[in-house]
Amino acid sequence: MSGYRIDPVIPLRLREGPAEAYRRARLVTYATLFAVLTALPVAAIFHSMGNAALMHKVLLGMVPSALTLAVLWVSRSAAVAGHYLTACVFAQVMVDFGPENFFSILAIFSIPIISTALISERAGAFWTLASAGWIGWVGLGTPAEATLYYGLVWSSAVVVLVLGFALVILEASRSNARAELEQVTQELATQQERLRAFADAAFPGIAHTISGRLVFVGDGVQRLLGYPTEQFMSRELLSYVHPDEATPISDRLLRQPGQGFRQEVRLRHFDGHWVWLEAYAIPFGVQAHSWLFAARDISEERRQRERWTEMQKFESVGVLAAGVAHDFNNLLTVILGFADLLERSDARDEIVTAAEEAAKLTQQLLSYARPGESAGERADAGRVLAGIMPMVRSLMGDSVTVDYQQPGERRLPVPLSDGQLHQIILNLCKNAREAMPDGGQLKLRTVRTEISDDGDLASGAYVNLTVEDTGQGMDEDVRRRAVDPFYSTKQQTRSSGLGLANVFSMVSTAGGFVAIDSQPGRGTAVTVTLPLLPSEGALRRSDELQSPGRLLPARRLGEVTVLVVDDDNSVRAFLHQALTRAGFAVALASNGAEALQACRIVTPDVLITDIVMPGTRGDRLANQLCEQLPGLHVLYISGNAAFTDGSVVATPRCRFLQKPFRTEDLLEQLADWPAPIDPADERREARSRP
């Protein structure tokens, strides 16, 4: 009879208690059933022998043995029930058979066995001594003349003592081994729990497969993929894998049966979407094609990597755009310059107009690519918005109507650079375009407003720049998280989620704030509020860095020597022809080394140099030449407006002209230059210096 079949006979307290108490309760139950059932064949034997008296005693002896189960239920103790059953057997041996019956001596051998097995080694020692004592009492009453019986009795006493204490020693050894095993098992269970907790924390998805069939799935799989465990195990593991990864993984499992590997894989979630997991496959067990898989969710990590890759792409595009804009400015300088040298005609005017429009777009591209390079400047919000409208209309496409409202004031200076303001406007317009895939209307306006001190912003004058669309709109949750970094309502492949976050960062740094008003299906209005700077804080531009004064020295133009330094051959050719036609003496150089070599042959009055050139920067070359020629005038030319920050244009004798420029702009810069007190004396003094 198996253990689970006799469990109803054992009290619940013992079944749910310590394992050792439950084991001994089962032994007591088995022994009780054995004592009751064995009495029946013994009684039948006595009946066949015609000994009815012994038969009745055996049958009556079943009753106290059967009561052992009642004692077990009442005491809830296997030890008490064991002592009771042992005492019953001991009493039956003594009372039923008596010392004259040889059968009682043989039956007494079971007492040490029963007590040791059912109760404990101490109980076994007690009942062994009791049994040996009873046999000794029988031996004392046996006449020595009955040699055979006398020897058998005393030898039985010795056998009971040896057998009983041998069982006691074995039980004690077994108990110690069992205690050690339980301790080791407990420690192993504790370690397994810790290991399972560690595995669940690091790799919550644990699964075991044999020949592709799932035989074990950890609880973490349900947290990762949402399937109930039974439902998940009903199919093969590879059936959940994305088709793009299923075949490679299957091939690796077949090719590398004894070697583990790592794989990033997509598994289908219960609700249908794909979850990216980092999975480790480890050969497990001795069976062939037996694998243990440990996986964790890396969806967010992959999104972060993809966003970082997008950011790097944007940065690379910005660097590329800046380089292209720089080279394109050189080309536009040549186009505009040589066009000015042609005779006036409608064709010439069209070339100039197209080139000037291209120059505006190039400057917008450069400002957008490097918005931080002009940090610290003030931008006129109205002027910037008006200037960027062609790019906005091109960005929005024909399906979106752009409505631009001209500001009421002439100037609305805010504490941002032109490039930063460009980026803010284009980011907001791009988001609006994404929200209107089927077309719509975009409204842009700038308004001056007054804000009282409300705790968030100081009271004063501000500028509201509003970009409003008629697109899909946002719900409350999306609107609340719209400015979070890396959060995007668009598909991951279409947006990095950095647009509004960058807008919010730049506006906050400038002392303003961003307000979003949106409802699903009713469009979105984003209002950027920026502090309005005082009107006397004039915007710094290249023309404002110029200083009024006398024109070039009152000498004939042929006596004024201009040294042109530019790495672009076409730009040098244009400057040479334009300046030569204007009557200047011109020397050309493609880099700093050639410029220094040219100064040994001619003494320039004016240095025209590009700032960014291979090998030597133009400002360093100018500083070196100004030390040698104190009366030298310097005109920096560059396609990058960032050099108007004052670090290069530092003195009245240094100016900046942004590429592309017209011939008249170039000549105007040279025409009203203030003259030194005595150029000849300054050159003489410079030559006399060591």
160 contact partners, CB below 8 Å, separation of at least 6: 108, 109, 111, 112, 128, 131, 132, 135
* ∠ CA 479-485-490, rounded to 5°: 60
Q: Which two tokens stand for residue 614?
A: 């291979």
Residue 206: strand pairing partners? 294
Alpha-helical segments (H) within 402-493: 418-434, 476-481
- Higher-pLDDT residue of 201, 470: 470
Q: For residue range 122-152, what is the model confidence (pLDDT) as tens digits?
A: 887 888 888 787 777 777 776 777 666 677 6
Q: Which range, of 14-28, 72-86, 261-275, averages the lowest pLDDT?
A: 14-28
Question: Mean pLDDT, to the nearest integer, of 457-483?
Answer: 77
Give the integer Cα–Cα distance in Å for 681 and 683. 5
As a whole number, mean pLDDT of residues 412-418 equals 83
CB 362 within 8 A of CB 333: no
- Residue 409 is predicted with a pLDDT of 56
pLDDT band at 283 (very low <50, low <70, confident <90, very high): confident
Q: How is 224-286 classified by DSSP, letter by letter?
A: HH---HHHHTTS-GGGGB-HHHHHHHHHHHHH-TT--EEEEEEEE-TTS-EEEEEEEEEE-SS
Instruction: Say which residue the tokens 């230059």 belong to.
Output: 673
In this model, does residue 357 exceed pLDDT 80? no
CB 118 within 8 A of CB 89: no
Q: Is the pLDDT of residue 483 over 60?
A: no
Please give the backbone phi and psi of residue 378, each rounded to the nearest 5 degrees, phi first: -105, 140
| Residue 175 CB neighbours (<10 A) | 13
The pLDDT assigned to 212 comes to 83
Q: Is residue 677 pLDDT above 90, yes or no?
A: no
Question: pLDDT, tens digit, for every residue of 612-650?
Answer: 887 778 888 888 898 888 888 999 898 765 554 444 545
pLDDT digits (tens, 9 = 90+) for 660-672: 888 888 888 887 6
* pLDDT greater at residue 94 or residue 532: 532
Q: Which residue has the higher pLDDT, 529 or 316?
A: 529
Instruction: Report the mean per-residue pLDDT for the chain.
Output: 76
Query: What does the DSSP assignment read for 87-111?
Result: HHHHHHIIIII-TT-HHHHHHTTHH
Q: What is the mean pLDDT of residues 217-240?
A: 88
Go through 657-670 and write b for each residue having 16 or more CB atoms within 10 A of its CB, e for each that does not. Answer: bbbbbbbeebeebb
pLDDT band at 180 (very low <50, low <70, confident <90, very high): confident
Residues whose CB is less than 8 angstroms from the CB of residue 225 and which lie 6 or more positions away in sequence, other chains included: 205, 232, 240, 267, 268, 269, 270, 275
Confidence of residue 250 (pLDDT cuts 50, 70, 90): confident
Q: Distance between CA atoms of 224 and 207, rounded to whole angstroms?
A: 12
- For the cut 60, the answer to whether the pLDDT of residue 606 exceeds it is yes
Nearest CA-CA partner of 562 in 476, 671, 423, 444: 671
pLDDT interval class at 319 (50, 70, 90)? confident
Q: Which residue type does 235 have?
A: R
Tens of pLDDT, residues 71-108: 888 888 888 888 887 887 777 777 654 445 555 666 67
Strand order in the sheet with 205-210: 213-217, 205-210, 290-297, 274-283, 261-268
- Alpha-carbon distance of 627 to 366, in angstroms, equals 33
Peptide bond preceding 660 in cis form (omega within 30 of 0): yes
Residue with token string 């005393």: 154
Q: How many residues does the chain have?
A: 690
Q: Are 561 and 587 in contact (CB under 8 A)?
A: yes
